[in-house]
Structure 1
Amino acid sequence: MQLSDLLLAIVFISQIGIGLLGNSFLLFLYILPFLTGHNLRPIDSIFFNLSLANLKVLLFRGLPKAMFYLGLKNFLDPLGCKLIQYLYTVSRSVSLSTTCLLCGFQVIVISPSNSRWFQLKAQAPKHIIPSCIFCWCFFLFINFTMLGVMHNSRFMSNNTRWRHLGYCSVASPVSFNALFYVIIFCLPDAICMGFMIWASAYIIFILHRHHQQVQHIHNPHLSPRTFPEIKATHASLILVCTYVSFYSINSIISFYVFQFGTYHFFLMPTEQLVAACFPAIAPFVLMSYDSQLHKYFYYLWCNKSSL
């Protein structure tokens, strides 16, 4: 094993370990209210779905890559390779759509009473869980259909392009209709990214206007209900900015590698590290800004101390 591979393995294992620990702990904190008889907030369902998707992204992409740098090369057969790629793509798409859903929910929550978005405030919590389920079902179906087309035996010819991931190889036929691929995969991502950027700008505008309206009032107890919403909104903005940044870098590298079919020593590890950054960072952003999670953690710590 080369020293560079060993260093990359250590980096991947550290990143994945931190991410898995953070997302697993976050999932446990959201399950805790069920165990104690408390109800989850509507936004907790979004956070739970996001953590679950991020956990699967780390498992299905980061873990095989770490095993590759530890010396296990091409250890997946074609069926296992397709399955891992399928589950990773679905989890990544659900993570993106859930972040988009979170951004839209925050727009509705903080919208002023004279806004059209405010009219949806009473109905929005009822549609969160069905929306999360729809995200999984939609991307499971879309990616399953695409998987069958991409790996159909009639495409497997001398013109087939193989992308080597290290732990396995993925086939992508050169003759495949690129426009169809763009519509199926890139268009939903572009719509989600565009909506998140617009929603983030709208949220920043609302927060700025709210700050201007209350800055002349020095009562620290004004609108106590506002502060948890503001903190949750800040967390959402940080998550969106983080996702957009890492997603853009990862997409540029992935497109370059796929389009030109060239391999550079630093490109593939960089792509994998960037792809795993958001799933690894997201749980700690939520734990830092969500006061309700602090209460869950305090409750858990007190019960542990009393034993």
Structure 2
Amino acid sequence: MSLFKNVLYFQAGFGFLANTILLFFYTFIMLGHRPKPTDLISCQLTFIHIMMFLTGGDICLTDIFETLNLENDFKCKTIFYISRVMRGLSICTTCLLGVVQAVTISPSTSLLAKFKHRLKVYMTYAFFCIWSFNLFYSSNQIFYVGGFTNVSETNQMKVTKSCSLFPKNYIIKGLILTVSVSRDVFLVGVMLTTSMYMVIILFRHQRQCKHLHSTSHLRASPEKRATQTILLLVVCFVAIYWVDFIISSSSVLLWMYDPVVLTVQKFVMYAYPTITPLIQISSDNRIIIMLENMHSKCHKILLNMFLPFL
């Protein structure tokens, strides 16, 4: 068990650091350059993943709450609420990322092409809708979490060392489960549909490139690389999400959270936020160029500092 927890701590710390570096990059891009529509979404997704790590119960936010002179019930409700909101935003934002990229690469003859010229306006509406929905929807669940007291007397289900879930009646439980499953099935369906559409576009583009000059192929390669990156992110999310959904649903339905199962679920929950920045950093040449420029500038600064002493 201690080995699992050490792996979990390493995964959370590594993922937090990678997302922080990526957030710094996107902030730099949006302040100093002309960002692409997908950069705005990726920046938000990175921020969401950082908050997921902070509210996952294994990094500093929980410890910060422990040092404050606040009631344990308030701490649990706050962390649980933020965590639920961020998990909902993660699936919504990943879905939006796929939709925006599908619109971006769509040919001028397609139905999606008419949305290109007002894409940033539609993105603003989408941001407002997904944040409003998740902030509102997750608020009902804070009534069913609180400070841990005694499982045998109150039938609570302990989920952390100091927090537990309270039982719900079957109507409320069924209603929450129905809304959650409906939302997730719809969003995953949209992800898969846009992914299939992008695969078809890439396949057609690949065939057309065989009849074009190499320079045209080079111009299209960054867009193609960005599309492949988003496709990979969507596939990873769908696979990891359903594993997490099966584990969490089984635990809630059976009303039993074994410590090992909880650790495995956290490992699965952290998998996507950890993988995402690695995929984005390795596939975006702008990040590599920025890191190279930073390295050369640091090298020049150090050389100028120590040159008088040589």
Q: State the Cα distance separating 1:298 from its structure 2 match.
A: 2.9
Q: Deviations over 1:151-190 (max 9, x none)?
A: 69xxxxx997522113221223234423320344222222
Name the CA distance, whole Å, in 2 between partners of 1:95 and 1:297. Answer: 27
CA shift digits 1:195-245 (9 cap, x unpaired): 00111111111111221222244x321154321111111110110011001
Residue of structure 1 in register with 2:120 after alignment: 125
Aligned to 1:300: 294
Q: 1:66 to 1:151 in 2, by over 3 A?
A: closer
1:275 counterpart (269, 290, 297): 269
Distance 1:164 1:76 in 2: 17
User: Which position in structure 1 is the counterpart of 2:4?
Assistant: 8
Q: 1:10 to 1:91 in 2, by over 3 A?
A: same
Question: What CA distance in whole angstroms lies between the structure 2 residues aligned with 1:30 and 1:184?
Answer: 33
C-alpha separation in 2, matches of 1:257 and 1:211:
46
1:253 maps onto 2:208 in alignment? no
Question: 8 Å contact 1:160–1:174 — kept in the other structure?
Answer: no
The residue type paired with residue 279 of structure 1 is P
Q: Of 68, 92, 104, which residue of structure 2 is paired with 1:109?
A: 104
Unaligned runs of 5+ in 1: 69-74, 153-157
Q: TM-score, normalised by structure 2?
A: 0.84
Q: Which amino acid aligns with 2:234?
A: V
Sort the Cα spacing of 1:115 and 1:194 in 2 relative to 1 into closer, same or farther, 3 A.
Answer: same
> RMSD in angstroms over aligned alpha carbons?
2.7
Q: CA deviation at 1:64?
A: 5.8
Q: Does 1:144 align with 2:139?
A: yes
How many Å apart are 1:251 and its aligned residue?
A: 0.3
For the Cα contact (< 8 Å) 1:53–1:95, is it kept in 2?
A: yes
C-alpha deviations, 1:246-302, integer Å up to 9, x for none?
A: 100000011111101234454222111101100111011111112222233333333
Name the amino acid aligned to 1:23: N
Query: Secondary structure of 2:120's partner?
Result: helix
Scaled by the length of structure 1, the TM-score of the pair is 0.85
Confirm whether residue 92 of structure 1 aligns to residue 87 of structure 2.
yes
Matched-pair contact (CA < 8 Å) for 1:54–1:91: yes
Note the C-alpha offset of 1:136.
Answer: 2.3
Q: How does 1:186-265 map to 2 (within 5 A)?
A: 186-217=181-212, 219-264=213-258
The 3 A distance-change label for structure 1 pair 129 and 225 is farther
Aligned equivalents of 1:77, 1:303: Cα separation in 2: 48
Q: Select the residue among 52, 57, 63 that pairs with 2:58.
A: 63
Residue of 5, 16, 21 corresponding to 1:20: 16
The code of the aligned residue for 2:26 comes to: Y
What is aligned with 2:304? none
Aligned to 2:76: 81
Q: Is the CA contact (8 Å cut-off) linking 2:157 and 2:256 kept in structure 1?
A: no
Aligned residues: 289
Query: What is the aligned-residue identity percentage?
Result: 27
Secondary structure in 1 aligned to 2:56?
A: helix
Distance in 2 between the 1:185 and 1:49 partners? 22
TM-aligned CA distance change 1:27 to 1:130, over 3 Å: farther
Q: Alignment partner of 1:114: what SS? A: coil
**Who wins on radius of gyration, i.e. which is larger?**
2
CA gap 1:60/1:180 in 2 versus in 1, 3 angstroms: same
